[in-house]
Amino acid sequence: MKIKAIRARVFEWKGPTVPPQGNFCSNAMDLVYDNQANRHECGNDTMNTFRFHGWTVVEVETDNGLVGLGNVALAPRIAKAIIDQYLAPLVLGQDPWDYEYINQRMYRATQAWGRKGVGMAAISAVDIAIWDILGKATNLPVFKLLGGRTKEKIPCYYSKLYRTDLKAMQEEAEKFMKQGFRAFKMRFGYGPAHGQQGVVENLKSVEAVREVIGYDNDLMLECYMGWNLEYAKRILPKLEKYQPRWLEEPVIADDIDGYAELNRLTSIPISGGEHEFSLLGFKQLLDKRAVSVVQYDTNRVGGITMAHKINALCEAYSVPVIPHAGQMHNYHLTMSSLNCPMSEYFPVHDVEVGNELFYYIFKGEPDAVNGFLQLDDKTPGLGLSLRTDHLHNFEITE
Ligand SMILES: O=C(O)C(=O)C[C@@H](O)CO
Ligand SMILES: [Mg+2]
């Protein structure tokens, strides 16, 4: 079997979106938009550079007619250019079963500029498509090629609860508790740029959600790189009484020593990884004990080939892996490893940040039932196909 064609298309959402509300998610840009002077630059939406309204869909085709689907949501137009200009010539003509060799070719050929960020994301999309082909070629789901079924079904945590008004957050938590979720991730809205008032607001939101979900459900706290070490050290002791399962991305991904200091500082496990890339990138995080939960995203880290290696590495360090975002490319890794206890799960909803666009592009994603996800033993490959019913809302670049 040989790879005969690779097609990368950018799907950009032009349909209706939920307008951002100020402070709905603390993030790395907060510190460059102070509260008053220049927030108008971002239309009062400091998260505006962290939207995922464009996705690159990759189709890899073999000489015996199999087509594998891959995806990438970081800098989609750049990812397409990387795939078209740099990766496709390395992959065309190769046997998809030589997936390790192919992944190494793409990774090594782009070392000068691609070992972090969109270079790795582009590699991920091609690699994911190759694994989809391998599943289709063997008539097996991808997880059966990685280690098989390690769980009867996958526990998942409800992930949204962006910072809106506290009553709305409580109603949202209530609604999804009733749907059977037993774990919830919420977003902080404030960070160092908002002073002590922001600290109080952050604590109020955690209090409000705990009030609804109680203490026999898991609560995870998402900072999305919006704090710094000083602020995190100040607020962490105040958060301990809420017993969060983890505190996610308190500082920017490059501040690995900051992660490690916080991870040693309190009883709250620090999590991260959705902005880390490659096997050796995660070795660095683990060697420094920077995180207690690893959250790579398979469509960023280097694909299924790389994620499978990172799963083994994390197992050796006894650090659990709970991949970022859920989505099918991650579910197969989670199903196939005992060291992956659960998945993130975004509900299907109107387009907002854009993580939810996955549901508008692909068919086949499992719905959460009572806080669990199921993968089918008989569905070959990833189990995804392209939807046609939302195409009218996308601008597609070939
Ligand atoms: O789901 C996550 O962990 C994310 O970081 C999503 C991002 O959009 C911030 O909520
Ligand atoms: Mg996150």
Mean pLDDT of 350-377: 97
Q: Which tokens hold the place of 267?
A: 């009883």
Q: Determine the atom of ligand 1 nearest the C-alpha atom of 27.
A: 9
Q: What rounded mean pLDDT belongs to the chain?
A: 96
- Of all ligands present, the nearest one to the C-alpha of 24 is 1
User: Annotated catalytic, 324?
Assistant: yes
Beta bridge partners of 394: 13
Cβ of residue 25 lying under 6 Å from some atom of ligand 1:
yes
Three-state SS at 325: coil
Domains and CATH numbers, the chain: 3-139 (3.30.390.10), 144-386 (3.20.20.120)
pLDDT at 37: 66
Query: pLDDT grade, residue 24 (50/70/90)?
Result: very high
Q: Determine the atom of ligand 1 nearest the C-alpha atom of 353.
A: 8
pLDDT at 34: 64
* pLDDT value at 20 more than 80: no
Cβ of residue 324 lying under 6 Å from some atom of ligand 1:
yes
Q: Determine the atom of ligand 1 nearest the C-alpha atom of 344.
A: 1
pLDDT at 33: 80
Å from CA of 185 to ligand 1 middle: 9
C-alpha span between 88 and 60 (Å, rounded): 10
* pLDDT value at 39 more than 90: no
C-alpha span between 319 and 297 (Å, rounded): 16
Among 194, 275, 308, 324, the active-site one is 324
Task: Tell me the C-alpha to C-alpha distance, in Å, between residue 31 and each of 34, 171, 234, 252, 259.
Answer: 6, 30, 17, 11, 18
Cβ of residue 221 lying under 6 Å from some atom of ligand 1:
no
Protein residue closest via CA to atom 7 of ligand 1: 224
Mean pLDDT of 264-279: 97
Å from CA of 183 to ligand 2 middle: 15
> Among all chains, which residue has been given the structure tokens 């951002």?
20
Cβ of residue 355 lying under 6 Å from some atom of ligand 1:
yes
Mean pLDDT of 51-59: 96
- Of all ligands present, the nearest one to the C-alpha of 160 is 1
Q: Are 156 and 373 in contact (CB under 8 A)?
A: yes
Q: Determine the atom of ligand 1 nearest the C-alpha atom of 355.
A: 8
DSSP H or E run through 138: helix 118-138
pLDDT at 21: 80
Å from CA of 224 to ligand 1 middle: 7
Q: In this predicted model, what pLDDT tens digit does every residue of 161-203 receive, in sequence order?
A: 999 999 999 999 999 999 999 999 999 999 998 999 999 999 9
pLDDT at 229: 98
Q: In this predicted model, what pLDDT tens digit does every residue of 59-106 receive, in sequence order?
A: 999 999 999 999 999 999 999 999 999 999 999 999 999 999 999 999
pLDDT at 299: 98
Pocket test for ligand 1, best of 25, 162, 222 (most atoms within 8 A of CB): 222
C-alpha span between 347 and 350 (Å, rounded): 10
ipTM of the complex: 0.98
Cβ of residue 225 lying under 6 Å from some atom of ligand 1:
no
Cβ of residue 352 lying under 6 Å from some atom of ligand 1:
no
Cβ of residue 160 lying under 6 Å from some atom of ligand 1:
no
Cβ of residue 329 lying under 6 Å from some atom of ligand 1:
no
Name the more confident of 252 and 35: 252
Calculate what percentage of the chain has a pLDDT beyond 90. 93
Protein residue closest via CA to atom 9 of ligand 1: 224
DSSP secondary structure of 6-64: EEEEEEEE-S--PPP-TTSS--TTGGGS-SSTTGGGGTT-GGGGS---EEEEEEEEETT
Pocket test for ligand 1, best of 18, 300, 355 (most atoms within 8 A of CB): 355
Mean pLDDT of 20-35: 85
Cβ of residue 206 lying under 6 Å from some atom of ligand 1:
no
